[in-house]
Structure 1
Amino acid sequence: MKHPVASIPALPACQSASHGSRYASRAKPHRWFGARAVESLATSLCVLAWASAAYAADPVRAMPVDAFIDTLGVVTHVNYTDGAYANVRNVADDMNWLGLRHVRDYTPGPSAPFESYVFLAQRGVRFNFLVRSNIAESVDLAAQLNTAVPGSVAAIEGFNEIDNFPVPYRGLNGTPAGLAAQRDIYARVRSTPALAGVPVYDLTGYDLKSVETRAGSADYANQHAYPQNGDQPSYNAPHGGSWIPSAIDSIKKYTLPVVITEFGYFSMPQSGWYMIGVDEATQAKGILNGYMDSAAAGVKRIYIYELLDEKSDPQNKSGEMHFGMFRFDNSPKPVAHAVRNLTTILKASTTPRAKDAARSTLSYTLSDMPPSANSLLLQKKDGRFVLALWNETKIWDRAKGTPVTMPPARVNVDFGATARRVDVYDPLVSAAPIASQRDVRQLPIDVPDHVILLEVTLADTPGT
């Protein structure tokens, strides 16, 4: 059986409460059935060319590695000065160690010195700034930072989860207040010269069904997606939620590019329904897969919640204190190692000869791919391709509160041409190859419940 290459997850009708917030854990998970490939999403969301559906033997345009890494973000709380974020140097070092640069945080405020943000910006961090209740002050401080360190402000975002954290505005409350504030945020950013070209992300937590357009309010539609019950990010048929696809589907009517400004799992294992607590190894699988699912669906950027465990919680009393990629003592969890391995593998390249031009498409075929599996084709600067494969089988037993490892899927890959070398990587294991093959066109590969990478050097790859 032939499987669509670089397929887009199927997008059922969305129940906004099921994916909108880490605080909505009592909401009933959305249930869906069916295959993962739906070409209509590419049209409705103007999905990037490399993420559009292509069938067996069709040339698939690769997403440049730099463009993929630029979709990867993480949430920080530099303004939380009574816990792990008080050491801003750790924040800078951790971001550099991960190989990431995009963070989402509130604009500078009274609890954190402006100099902390300058320090991070000078070390390559780019901010998506959440606006505080004082819109004028927030926008002005963002402009000041972008002036001090040009290019350090990547986006401005409206109020956060107004269903959970309502902000009164000009005599209004609830959704009307949030929508009115968002229009004013948009107008103020557009009229601030120091923020010229900086996009505005929509607010989150308003009633999507009652709002038909975001014209004059946002450049990017915005959602949050928190997989419940230890689910995978996108495929959990027949009894689980399609969290990232449902989040995208809920805002596709706005026909804007999409960002997901919160996504994550907390590493405090739990059992039962509606919980999202898993062990650290399962957290790593879910976040790696979420990064890939998001890019494959054409999401502009996804921010993992969050960089650090905010405060010490040795007795596991609060799941909120365990979302970090790093523990409270700044030691990396498995997810941090996995993300570092991922970016290290993708950034490693040789120097191509200037006169050579590498092809940008690959006519690969995947046979025997189950509907729970997916692929994304990337390309390094030196012309080598990286084919990411992952299979979203069950990873958590919600009744027992323990991890599950399902057998991998045996998939046959045809690269459409002879590959001089194929190196197989597992980011959960290391940044070194776990297997290598030479002079092959076809290769059987076992695809596990998390991302693996096939680095493909074709026989005619220039400069390698």
Structure 2
Amino acid sequence: MMLRSDPLAALPLPGPSDTFADSVGVNVHISSEPYASNFDRFHELLAASGIRHLRDELRPSNDLDRWRALNKRSNILFNAVVSPATNTVPEMMTYLAALGIERVSAMEGQNEGNSDWFLSLPLAKPGWSNVVVNYQREVHAALRARYAAAELPLLSPSVINWKPADVALLRPAAQFSDAVAIHSYVQRAQEPETSDDYAAVSWYLHNMRDAFKPGAPALATECGYCNVVKPGTSGVSETAAALYLPRLLLNNFRLGILRTFLYEFFDGGTDPNDGEHHWGLVRNDGSPKPGYHAIRNLLSALKGARRANNDPALRVASTAPDLRHIAFQDAHEQPLLAVWRAVRCWNVEKAEDIPVPTEPIDIAVDGPAASLSFNRPNDDAEWRRVPVTDGHATIPLDGRVAIVRRSS
């Protein structure tokens, strides 16, 4: 089985992507506001961000010309969600043929069928889980009659992240799912590396993936941070979100999540008290938040970067328990290192940012090098030099990610 990454390459399932940029996606609602009336601004910001995977629902109201335009102009691929509420299976196949499967990385079953919205629909009255499972079976049969899993994988239906018991009701759909879609939101504004229940990636893999299809490849098709700030809730400031989002993407990649779709690109509205309005990387008026810039810089710094082998030329020599790191190599097989600290940057009870003191981190360097350069995606796209002495260099690290390379 394969998960399409771009028109010229694909990635095997099961197993994580080796290319970091290919693991990053974002949720959008292209046919809804503010995307519909600000499409040019959306495309401008999307193209500049470096994000090349979008998750959206395939439905009759879609302007597929816009989907095709995004693919043609910026090589965008779509993770297309389908639902019995908006598509019969024959309609889905018609829309898919009109879009072209070369523009689709994967199909995905019903989104959160245990949500109040879906449960309120007349079609769900016979039992929502039976409806979702039967639809997944029909979608799978229609897709496999025309396309192999290598051409077009089908992801599982998803459930609301705080209702793990409902996964058991969907288990009959496992045989009709090539990979598992999880919605791995943190429940109490924790840092991405938390070990808490209802928040940690490991908890979601155990309770959402393994309870459905043990050991299957997993995609986080929704996760992120809300920016409605109230004491004791799950919202964080835009500043804290900008610190957490690059770490979330890297941490998921480190733990083998095949692809992570942040929720979402644009804020859905402007009501300061409505949590559904403030999940975006970009505000409703089209102005980027700090998190947008951090992710754009991260993807630029790691453009073309792939996981390194087991003997990387740059290594973290410090042993602090909060350190996390991933060794990469760039397109020219030169070493890169992403390093960060799993520290909390947001005080949930007080609803305020936590200043994180800087700690010196020792980087070991194999081979000749007079200096290393490091980039902080949260700050800018610039690279700063630090000297190498006796095969070691020191970089300052707080709550921000650092990308390290040999100086050119």
TM range (shorter): 0.7 to 0.9
1:198-247: per-residue Cα shift (whole Å, max 9, x none)?
A: 111111017224565755311111100112322111226xx776422222
Q: Which structure's relative contact order is higher, taking Cα pairs within 8 Å and 6+ residues apart?
A: 1
> Residue 285 of structure 1 contacts residue 450 of structure 1 at CA under 8 Å; is this kept in 2?
yes
Q: 1:145-156, aligned counterparts within 5 Å?
A: 145-146=99-100, 151-156=102-107
**What code does the residue aligned with 2:364 have?**
D
Q: 1:256 aligns with which of 208, 216, 222?
A: 216
SS class of match (2:65): helix
Structure number with the higher helix fraction is: 2
Distance 2:261 2:309 in 1: 31
| Aligned counterpart, 1:95 | 46
Q: 2:294 aligns with which of 338, 344, 362?
A: 338
| Gap regions ≥5 residues in structure 1 | 1-44, 51-62, 350-357, 458-463
Tell whether 2:360 aligns with 1:403. no
| Aligned counterpart, 2:21 | 69
Tell whether 2:169 aligns with 1:219. no
- 1:432/1:170 Cα in 2 relative to 1: closer, same or farther (>3 Å)? closer
Using structure 1 for the length normalisation, give the TM-score: 0.75
Distance 1:440 1:85 in 2: 57
- 1:194/1:300 Cα in 2 relative to 1: closer, same or farther (>3 Å)? closer
Distance 2:37 2:82 in 1: 21
> Residue 77 of structure 1 contacts residue 105 of structure 1 at CA under 8 Å; is this kept in 2?
yes
**What code does the residue aligned with 1:159 have?**
Q
Distance 1:105 1:180 in 2: 22
Using structure 2 for the length normalisation, give the TM-score: 0.84
**What code does the residue aligned with 2:265 have?**
L
| Aligned counterpart, 1:282 | 240
| Aligned counterpart, 1:140 | 94
Shift of 1:169: 5.5
What is the percent sequence identity of the aligned residues?
Answer: 24
Shift of 1:195: 8.7
Tell whether 2:336 aligns with 1:378. no
> Residue 214 of structure 1 contacts residue 254 of structure 1 at CA under 8 Å; is this kept in 2?
no
| Aligned counterpart, 1:33 | none
SS class of match (2:40): helix
Shift of 1:385: 1.4
| Aligned counterpart, 1:230 | 189
SS class of match (2:256): coil
**What code does the residue aligned with 1:141 have?**
Y
> Residue 84 of structure 1 contacts residue 309 of structure 1 at CA under 8 Å; is this kept in 2?
no
| Aligned counterpart, 2:343 | 393
- Cα root mean square deviation, aligned: 2.8
Shift of 1:300: 0.9
**What code does the residue aligned with 2:201 have?**
I
Distance 1:180 1:408 in 2: 54
1:419-456: per-residue Cα shift (whole Å, max 9, x none)?
A: 34411110000111133335762123333223111113
1:325-374: per-residue Cα shift (whole Å, max 9, x none)?
A: 1111111110111111112222389xxxxxxxx98841554344333321
Distance 1:78 1:113 in 2: 8
| Gap regions ≥5 residues in structure 2 | 1-12
| Aligned counterpart, 1:40 | none
Distance 1:152 1:376 in 2: 30
Distance 1:284 1:323 in 2: 12
Q: 1:15-414, aligned counterparts within 5 Å?
A: 48=16, 63=18, 67-80=19-32, 82-110=33-61, 112-123=62-73, 124-133=75-84, 134-136=87-89, 137-146=91-100, 151-164=102-115, 165-166=118-119, 172-193=126-147, 197-205=151-159, 207-209=166-168, 215-235=174-194, 242-250=199-207, 251-252=209-210, 253-272=213-232, 275-313=233-271, 316-347=272-303, 361-362=311-312, 364-414=314-364
Distance 2:198 2:243 in 1: 17
1:222-280: per-residue Cα shift (whole Å, max 9, x none)?
A: 100112322111226xx7764222222321352211100001111222211xx221111
- 1:104/1:118 Cα in 2 relative to 1: closer, same or farther (>3 Å)? same
> Residue 424 of structure 1 contacts residue 434 of structure 1 at CA under 8 Å; is this kept in 2?
yes
> Residue 79 of structure 1 contacts residue 106 of structure 1 at CA under 8 Å; is this kept in 2?
no
Shift of 1:100: 1.2
> Residue 322 of structure 2 contacts residue 343 of structure 2 at CA under 8 Å; is this kept in 1?
yes
Shift of 1:171: 7.1
**What code does the residue aligned with 1:290 have?**
L
Greater shift, 364-373 or 285-294, is seen at 364-373
**What code does the residue aligned with 2:224 have?**
G
Tell whether 2:380 aligns with 1:430. yes
